[in-house]
Amino acid sequence: MSDCLLVCLNGGLVVLIWLVQLIIYPAMVHWPLPSFCAIHRWYTSRISLLVIPLMSGQALLVGYGLVTNFSALLLVQASLVAIAWGLTFFLFVPLHARLSRGYDIAVIRRLVAANWFRTILWSAVSGLDIARVYLA
């Protein structure tokens, strides 16, 4: 049961991160300047409603799996998840804090460029689900 739930959570995160990478972050340069802060505030509050439960569930289930059903693939997934969390909290949260104070094209470009790392990480985590669960 927890494997199925983890596959769903990881799948949800990979869809979400690709939407952010291909649509949401690049669109920020087109948000109207007079209302940029309000739109950004609205975006971050809404996206958090999806991201926080998905990331929290992912961390809990990966941790649970490491304790109850350890495997090398799950350890690799856990490592990739930890890196994605680190990037989120130490790079992306501060970048979004800067954008909450106003439009900054350099920060938006950095979001788009740096987010490829998280996109690749979460795609790899989801891909490893196929190897770990469906090919086992």
Domain span at residue 105 reads: 2-134
Residue type, 76: V
Give 107's contacts (C-beta < 8 A, 6+ positions apart).
Answer: 95, 98, 99
Predicted local distance difference test score (pLDDT) of residue 2:
82
Instruction: For the chain, 136 residues long, give each residue's pLDDT as a single digit of tens.
Output: 588 899 999 999 999 999 999 999 999 999 999 999 999 999 999 999 999 999 999 999 999 999 998 999 999 999 999 999 999 999 999 999 999 999 999 999 999 999 999 999 999 999 998 888 887 7
Predicted local distance difference test score (pLDDT) of residue 1:
57
Predicted local distance difference test score (pLDDT) of residue 57:
96
Please give the span between the terminal C-alpha atoms of the chain, in angstroms, as a whole number: 15
